[in-house]
Amino acid sequence: MNGNSRLGGKEMNDVLGNIRRNLKRRLSFLKRRFIRPRRPMYTDGKLLLHIGCGPIDSPEFVNIDALPYAHVHVVTENLDDLADFADETVDLVYMCHVLEHIKSPQVGRVLHEMHRVLKAGGVLRLSVPDFDRLIDVYQAAGGDLDVIRKQLMGGQESEYNIHYGLFNRGSLSELLQEVGFRSIRTWDPKDCQYHDFKDKAGKVMTIGDRSFEISLNLEAVK
């Protein structure tokens, strides 16, 4: 009975947590209907885009998302058409766990659009689930597919949380090269400029006493 009681308590906490998050999100959406966020002041002269920002609001970025959070400056699902931004005007584009949500035929077009808006020397900074590392997690979990299912396929509780793409370092590097990016390299979310917030770029999965960083973090230069 005590075990069932603890389980029931945990389930109740999960339900209440979901209710609080949904309420906070809806209030944020409502606020944006009446108060549009101001674009950041570029004190260092740089234009930074955070595409797929979700609930994260880092004040130096222009925030772009499909959902109308109060801090989102540009609400759009069309990442292959960033009409708000002219050619070669952006210094940094950041996309964390976004690319896997884009259908395969569109990925190239989205990367081309990022290349279009970036200045020469500008940086596209990406983070995606790393298929190779997820295989390591799967093997460490004794072949339990459920352990990595959500990372591979998305939660699928909404149309915005479905994964269509898989990437490892080789495949993503090849895509970036095809578009025209160069100097492809890894980046560290704990030690890089314009990343003073926590997000999935630093996501860790734990199996027993082993920890796995499951994000592939690559950036490339135009």
For residue 71, is pLDDT > 80?
Answer: yes
Question: Cα(154)–Cα(94) distance, rounded to whole angstroms?
Answer: 20
Residue 65: phi and psi, rounded to 5, are -155, 160
In this prediction, residues 157-170 reach a mean pLDDT of: 94
pLDDT tens per residue, range 74-114: 999 999 999 999 999 999 999 999 999 999 999 999 999 99
Question: Cα(109)–Cα(188) distance, rounded to whole angstroms?
Answer: 26
pLDDT tens per residue, range 7-42: 566 566 665 556 666 665 565 555 566 667 788 866
Task: Show the beta-strand stretches assigned E in the chain.
Answer: 48-51, 62-65, 74-75, 90-96, 118-129, 182-186, 204-207, 210-213, 215-221
3 state DSSP class of 84: coil
* Average pLDDT, rounded, for the chain: 89
Residues 47-82 as b or e (16 or more Cβ within 10 Å = b): bbbbbbbbebbbebbbbbbbbbbbbbbeeeeebeeb
Domain 36-221 CATH class label: alpha beta
The whole-number pLDDT of residue 180 equals 97
Query: Hey, what are 86's tokens?
Result: 């002219």
* Contact (CB, 8 A) for 150 and 119: no
Query: How much of the chain exceeds pLDDT 90, in percent?
Result: 77
Question: Cα(183)–Cα(196) distance, rounded to whole angstroms?
Answer: 23
The whole-number pLDDT of residue 1 equals 41
* Contact (CB, 8 A) for 74 and 64: yes
Task: Show the beta-strand stretches assigned E in 47-201.
Answer: 48-51, 62-65, 74-75, 90-96, 118-129, 182-186
The whole-number pLDDT of residue 15 equals 59
pLDDT tens per residue, range 113-123: 999 999 999 99
Residues 161-197 as b or e (16 or more Cβ within 10 Å = b): eebebbbbbeebbebbeebebeebeebebeeeebbee
pLDDT tens per residue, range 193-221: 999 999 999 999 999 999 999 999 999 99
The whole-number pLDDT of residue 131 equals 98
The whole-number pLDDT of residue 40 equals 83
The whole-number pLDDT of residue 4 equals 47
